[in-house]
Amino acid sequence: MDIYNTPESNLDNNEKLLIKPVRAIIYGLLIAVVLTQIVSGLEVVILGVMTNIDFNNEKEFQSIFVNNPLFLYIDLFVSAVVLYLAGIVVSKHTPTKEIKYLSIVAILTFIYYSYALYASGSFDLYPVYYNIATIIIIPAAIIMGGLRMRYRARPA
């Protein structure tokens, strides 16, 4: 670098700000839907093994999870963490347009989970506080994860 020459401009080089909206939505939905289901399934298996329940009796199996507030709180917390991670991933793939794509992923995830809860009859099965918390956590965690990326300290 020569101190007597002007520095080179990098305004035309926007490789760092490439927006990949399709990739962001696909990754966000994969994490928000598939990874959340996998993690919740692992939670069920772990609690089932810990409580030594019979996996063949479906009524007993469901009643143990529905009536166990500790399991429900852990499930809400872990689901919120995974959805927060989905928001971070969406935000990393859409710099400067985070809000738009976070909203799309949050709405699509909310629609999926609302339909899944309604179709499976889980609204009647689980306690009211769990259903309300689930409905609030789904979009809130995704958007908060993405906004964390937007407002974090950026290197100079």
Confidence of residue 11 (pLDDT cuts 50, 70, 90): low
C-alpha 46/C-alpha 42 separation (Å) is 6
Q: Domain coordinates of the chain in residue numbers? A: 20-150
Rounded to the nearest angstrom, the gap between the alpha carbon of residue 155 and the centroid of all alpha carbons in its chain is: 26
Task: Report the pLDDT value the prediction gives residue 67, as an integer from 0 to 100.
Answer: 85
Rounded to the nearest angstrom, the gap between the alpha carbon of residue 104 and the centroid of all alpha carbons in its chain is: 13
CB under 8 Å to 71, separation ≥6 — which residues? 43, 47, 65
pLDDT > 70 fraction of the chain, expressed in percent and rounded: 89
Residue 61 has pLDDT above 90, yes or no: no
Segment 107-129 mean pLDDT:
88
Task: Report the pLDDT value the prediction gives residue 110, as an integer from 0 to 100.
Answer: 94
Residue type, 116: A
Looking at every residue in the chain, the average pLDDT score rounds to 85
Least confident piece of the model among 44-48, 111-115, 128-132: 44-48
Predicted TM-score (pTM) of the model is: 0.81
Task: Report the pLDDT value the prediction gives residue 125, as an integer from 0 to 100.
Answer: 84
Residue 125 Cα distances to 48, 55, 80, angstroms: 18, 18, 21
